Structure 1
């Protein structure tokens, strides 16, 4: 909205003070501040409201960590609504709303937020850890993701020198390697988005565990979006130039700000959980940004912590079905380390460190060309 205001004022006459609104870096910084402010302002009132409405709060797995059943019982969930409020409001205020990439990532974020809300609502009202049907949720996730990828392919800018970039997969390190998938890219892009959403959902199991790694990934992809969307920087780093995608950096800034605001209340001991409302939305958001910036493969590095959590669940399920034995004491893997005697704070902080290291490794691929 503010970017539109800048354009209107510029057209009406020269207003120097508003020129700052044209700078992407300024609007990204303000998106961080605005999102954080919105979430913190909502916090206490929203938590009291959810406590009154939810009563016993989010159900805790009966087969989980014993102390969690006692310590976390009664903690309200659906805190993702706070995150979404800050994220969406901030993006609408500071991003260029004529940019198709902005609407594509907002579609995934809001759509997955609604799905997560329905899942959380079913869990709270029925007092069970099982929400809506997994198959139904997966189908809806795929449909939303396909719609977002279609927007990116159809309305995203096409560089004259790379007319098929929108439907191609770029590979890190190999600067000239592009694999054009045609309309099959719809399925590939949807797979990336759905996979990212559910990977973050698996990771969200301890206070602050998912929030900070998502912020770290958003910071990394915010930088990537800024560089890839800038013709000069993309050329210098030998990246695939994606015109207009730099605007997604504002959205990434909003994720960081909303995460900071939520962490104020989600830090141990958490006063509220983000629930599927937050984890699905944030995971889908990061996946959509990776697709928009043509760094889908790099997402596997930057979001390696989420990949590890997902693999631990898959390995556990396959092993138990085939052999009747469990590889981990409990999955996802963060619970395995708790079973080994690590304190919750130790697991969370060490996983944050891993997330930082993986993000730096992912960013290093920008120069390895």
Structure 2
């Protein structure tokens, strides 16, 4: 929105306003805007949630140390979504279809999470939104986004598969692109949701992955960098740098209140939306497989649940003491902060490996 204002002021008032049309400047302003908005909104939202008695319900079959968290305000993801949306609408180029795809995906999955949280904490339904209905609406949104991106593709590279560490093999997916996009969006959404079980555990890897995706968006949308790195040039992808910056800013602002011991939890309204938007950005910059690497913590958490359920159904035995796997380490005696920080370190390593694929090709 402010891009148009800057262009108007540059043409009619002074040329100095041109600085606000630069992508790098708007990226910086996007991260700062989202950060300050979330820091400003946090105390107010926490007080509001406390007054309304919208607190987390803790299951008694989990780690006993979590029982003290019962009643902690949840649905704090609202501050994340609000900050990202405002920063994105202010600083991104709203004529860019990629910007609208990401912001609408964020909003759509946020609404699904909001309904789930509402049923859990207000209607006191421990199961929240029935699983099949949650998956149904996730599928509807993801399929809609996938079909739109496929049919609106303007160049063949937008539907090719980029393989990490390989520069000469980029198979054309055709209609399989829709299937891949669908699974990436739904899978990432649920993976972040499963990871969100300890204070700050999900938000910091999300911030790191979003920052790395911002780097991918910038170089993919820059003709010189993309040519030098031998990656596809997708002009519209550059604008996603601003959206990624907004995610980083909003995430860091939320972490201020979510760090151990947490004053607020993000709830499904935050985790489902953040996972989905990471997935759709990875699709738009053609880095779905790299997302699998950088989001390795999310993958590990998801696989631990699948293996646990599969093993119990087939063998009647559990592989882990509890799933997702962060609970396994808690039950082994690791203090919660140790689990969180070690998972953060692992996430940082995986993000750096993902960024290395830009040059190691």
Shift of 1:196: 0.5
Matched residue of 1:54: which SS? coil
> 1:86 aligns to what?
83
Match runs of 1:316-327 below 5 Å? 316-327=308-319
Shift of 1:166: 2.0
Shift of 1:128: 4.2
Distance in 1 of aligned mates of 2:136 and 2:5: 39
Shift of 1:154: 3.8
> 1:343 aligns to what?
335
Q: Which deviates more, 288-297 or 181-190?
A: 181-190
Q: Is the 8 A contact 2:75 2:117 kept in 1?
A: yes
> 1:229 aligns to what?
221
Shift of 1:67: 1.5
Q: What are the superposed Cα offsets for residues 299-351 of structure 1, whole Å, 9 maximum, x if unpaired?
A: 00010110000000000000000011000000000000000000000000000
> 1:30 aligns to what?
29
Give unmatched runs, 5+ long, in structure 1. none
Matched residue of 2:87: which SS? helix
Distance in 2 of aligned mates of 1:230 and 1:353: 30
Q: What are the superposed Cα offsets for residues 25-50 of structure 1, whole Å, 9 maximum, x if unpaired?
A: 11111111000111111111111111
Matched residue of 1:35: which SS? helix
Equivalent of 2:65 in 64, 67, 71: 67
> 1:102 aligns to what?
99
> 1:40 aligns to what?
39
Distance in 2 of aligned mates of 1:128 and 1:20: 51
> 2:48 aligns to what?
49
Q: Is the 8 A contact 1:24 1:247 kept in 2?
A: yes
Matched residue of 1:132: which SS? coil
Shift of 1:212: 0.4
Distance in 2 of aligned mates of 1:59 and 1:205: 12
Q: What are the superposed Cα offsets for residues 213-256 of structure 1, whole Å, 9 maximum, x if unpaired?
A: 00000010000100111010000011111111010010000001
Q: Which deviates more, 194-203 or 44-53?
A: 44-53
Distance in 1 of aligned mates of 2:127 and 2:180: 28
Q: What are the superposed Cα offsets for residues 172-197 of structure 1, whole Å, 9 maximum, x if unpaired?
A: 12212222222331121011011001
Q: Is the 8 A contact 2:7 2:18 kept in 1?
A: no
Q: Is the 8 A contact 2:211 2:248 kept in 1?
A: yes
Distance in 2 of aligned mates of 1:43 and 1:366: 36
Q: Indicate the RMSD between aligned Cα atoms, in angstroms.
A: 1.3
Equivalent of 1:241 in 201, 225, 233: 233
Q: What are the superposed Cα offsets for residues 2-21 of structure 1, whole Å, 9 maximum, x if unpaired?
A: 111123334x4472211111
Give unmatched runs, 5+ long, in structure 2. none
Distance in 2 of aligned mates of 1:182 and 1:155: 13
Aligned length: 361
Distance in 1 of aligned mates of 2:320 and 2:250: 33
Matched residue of 2:241: which SS? helix
> 2:349 aligns to what?
357
Q: Is the 8 A contact 1:101 1:152 kept in 2?
A: no
Distance in 2 of aligned mates of 1:52 and 1:299: 39
Q: Is the 8 A contact 1:58 1:127 kept in 2?
A: no
> 1:17 aligns to what?
16
> 1:211 aligns to what?
203
Distance in 2 of aligned mates of 1:189 and 1:255: 21
Matched residue of 2:263: which SS? coil
Distance in 2 of aligned mates of 1:54 and 1:24: 42
Distance in 1 of aligned mates of 2:85 and 2:63: 35
Distance in 1 of aligned mates of 2:53 and 2:171: 49
